């Protein structure tokens, strides 16, 4: 297995049965739909067809950190049976984190970065992230977990009959 440089492979997680668990520091795992910063940025992203089902914006000023107004936004998005929970903030003291807080992609209406989408072949998926991935390992694992190296989110890619059938996002 030879990861591509941008995948920024960190380590193997606990792999069991048909699940391969990889830890990565890649920007892809934090920002699987590109760099989004707030609700407005959704309008020009690949998520622009999603409906906002729930939205909450909080504002506050923390003079110990910054005299500027700080804010956070949380929202639930839906497109058919595809669902996402997102969180954005402008905290200058915050640690590295992505905006995904949960959800699932169940059909090919939604493309992630690198044009990852339900229905793509296992071989194509591996070729996006690895220069070389042994065929015997491709056959062994039906589920791939990409966990962010700074605990935040895990992507779970499920393959059935050699095609991506489901993408789950689990926040930690």
Angle at 104 between CA 94 and CA 145, to 5 degrees: 70
| Residue 94 pLDDT | 65
Give the separation between CA 99 and CA 120, rounded to whole angstroms. 24
Digit-coded pLDDT (tens) for 30-89: 999 999 999 999 999 999 999 999 999 888 766 565 567 788 899 999 999 999 999 998
Digit-coded pLDDT (tens) for 151-160: 789 999 999 9
Task: Enter the pTM of the model.
Answer: 0.90
Q: Are 156 and 144 in contact (CB under 8 A)?
A: yes
In the chain the first and final C-alpha atoms are separated, in Å, by 27
Average pLDDT for 5-34: 93
């Amino acid at each position: 297995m030879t990861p591509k440089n941008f995948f920024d492979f960190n380590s193997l997680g606990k792999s069991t049965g048909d699940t391969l668990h990889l830890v990565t520091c890649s920007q892809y795992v934090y920002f699987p739909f590109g760099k989004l910063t707030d609700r407005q940025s959704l309008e020009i992203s690949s998520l622009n067809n999603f409906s906002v089902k729930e939205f909450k914006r909080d504002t506050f000023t923390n003079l110990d950190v910054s005299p500027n107004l700080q804010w956070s936004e949380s929202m639930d998005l839906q497109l058919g049976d595809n669902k996402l929970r997102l969180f954005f903030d402008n905290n200058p003291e915050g640690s590295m984190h992505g905006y995904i807080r949960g959800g699932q992609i169940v059909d090919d209406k939604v493309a992630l970065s690198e044009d990852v989408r339900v229905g793509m072949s296992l071989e194509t998926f591996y070729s996006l992230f690895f220069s070389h991935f042994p065929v015997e390992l491709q056959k062994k694992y039906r589920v791939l977990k990409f966990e962010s190296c700074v605990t935040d989110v895990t992507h779970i890619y499920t393959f059935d009959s050699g095609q991506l059938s489901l993408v789950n996002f689990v926040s930690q």
